[in-house]
Amino acid sequence: MNTVADNRESPAAALVAVRGLRTRIGTKVIFDGLDLEVPRGSVTAIMGPSGTGKTTLLRHMTGQLRPDAGSVRVDGEEVTTLSRRALFALRERIGYLFQNSALLTDFSVFENVAFPLRQHTRLPAELIRNIVLTKLQAVGLRGAAQLMPGELSGGMARRVALARAIVFDPMLILYDEPFVGLDPIALNQVLRLIRTLNRTLGITSILVAHELAAIRQVADRIYLIANGKLVAQGAPDELARQDSPWTRQFFGGEADGPVPFHYPAPDYAAALGLADAAR
């Protein structure tokens, strides 16, 4: 009988592989045959217009949402068919950095980072203390261990959230809009941390973001998603030079293009009753 380890891909293979992903939420088609791969040890950015399902894709990778069709494999495991227990075990190997940091406001910085360890392990207090201080040292905030979230700047809160995301030494970190609301100094600190953690800990990172200038500094590859499909992919500099309508509009910030300015609607004149009046 095959074990989970037997089914996992080789170290050189993609850590995350999405094939033929189809998802509909209500009447809206989110993904319509999406395919992409995330190499192990890479920093991969998922970009696209608002509302194209970038965060939904992260939810598929963690098994929070099951697709209507297609395959989502993480470390060789088919997420769409995992049992509840196996899914929880997989999630313990995935760190997640929320857009708003999602710190527990009544807990200190130390207790925020310690929270997953206290909830999911029976480690002795001294070992938890050492792990937490190690992770805070990695993000440059060991000296802030006893501060409360309300005393932190936006950049510091994001770094505490990152320390919590790596507390289990995950194989994969999912970043959901990690640069939103950061000043230039905090932004550069987070960028450096993402790249440093990938290199020193062998982590694979997937970033959902809109800031091309920041992404160009840290990502190995960009996937541009729109209308439920992959419309462009490549290294950041390569993608920025492409002259497709999608890359021109998204990276050039054009108001109209493949993503129209006007949301689909009935005929304007008819809606105002002008069509009948003209008869």
In this prediction, residue 78 carries a pLDDT of: 96
In this prediction, residue 61 carries a pLDDT of: 95
Residues counted in the chain: 279
Distance CA 166, CA 143 (A): 18
Reading across the β-sheet that carries 43-47, which strands appear in turn? 94-97, 172-176, 204-208, 43-47, 221-226, 229-234
Helix/strand/coil for 192: helix
Task: Return the CATH superfamily for domain 14-242.
Answer: P-loop containing nucleotide triphosphate hydrolases (3.40.50.300)
pLDDT tens digits in sequence order for the chain, 279 residues long: 344 444 444 444 789 999 999 999 988 899 999 999 999 999 999 988 878 889 999 999 999 999 999 999 999 999 999 999 999 999 989 999 887 888 999 999 999 999 999 998 899 999 999 999 999 999 999 999 999 999 999 889 999 999 999 999 999 999 998 888 888 888 888 898 899 888 888 899 999 988 888 888 999 999 999 888 888 888 988 877 777 766 766 666 555 556 655 566 777 777 777 755 555
The pTM (predicted TM-score) of the whole model is: 0.82
In this prediction, residue 273 carries a pLDDT of: 73
In this prediction, residue 265 carries a pLDDT of: 73
**For the chain, what are the domain ranges?**
14-242
Residues 6+ apart with CB under 8 A from 167: 95, 113, 114, 116, 117, 131, 132, 135
